[in-house]
Amino acid sequence: VQLQASGGGLVQVGGSLTLSCAASGLTFSSYTMGWFRQAPGKEREFLAMISLSGGSTYYADSVKGRFTISRDNAKNTVYLQMNSLKLEDTAVYYCAAARKWRQTAISYDYWGQGTQVTVSS
């Protein structure tokens, strides 16, 4: 199983960025997909998750209204659209796949390698 996250980079405060995560080696449409992030010295933080068909989503309060998770099962890809970025959004962002509808990191079976997002002033 491989989850390949991409799309990270350097963006200014207030800017936007879209992350992608391409999955292979698993039945993508059978997994809840989630996005997490981890800043230096901090624990991994849940951001968003999306159900198997994409019909349901759930967000952490810290990103609700600014971030949007979506998926394309035909392309085995999950996305995270990030708007109105803040300095505190700087972190390594990870995609992950879970067999259950959970927001805890320990519930996720597979993880991508992470992509760095840096928000500058």
Q: For residues 12 and 31, what is the distance between their CA atoms, to the nearest angstrom?
A: 33
CB atoms within 10 A of CB 121: 7
Q: Which of 98, 53, 50, 96 is nearest to 74 (CA)?
A: 53
**pLDDT at residue 66, as a whole number:** 98
**pLDDT at residue 32, as a whole number:** 98
CB atoms within 10 A of CB 105: 17
**pLDDT at residue 111, as a whole number:** 98
Structure-block tokens of residue 48 = 């968003």
From first to last of its 121 residues, what are the pLDDT tens digits of the chain?
Answer: 999 999 999 999 999 999 999 999 999 999 999 999 999 999 999 999 999 999 999 999 999 999 999 999 999 999 999 999 999 999 999 999 999 999 999 999 999 999 999 999 9
∠26-8-87 over CA atoms, to 5°? 130
CB atoms within 10 A of CB 87: 10
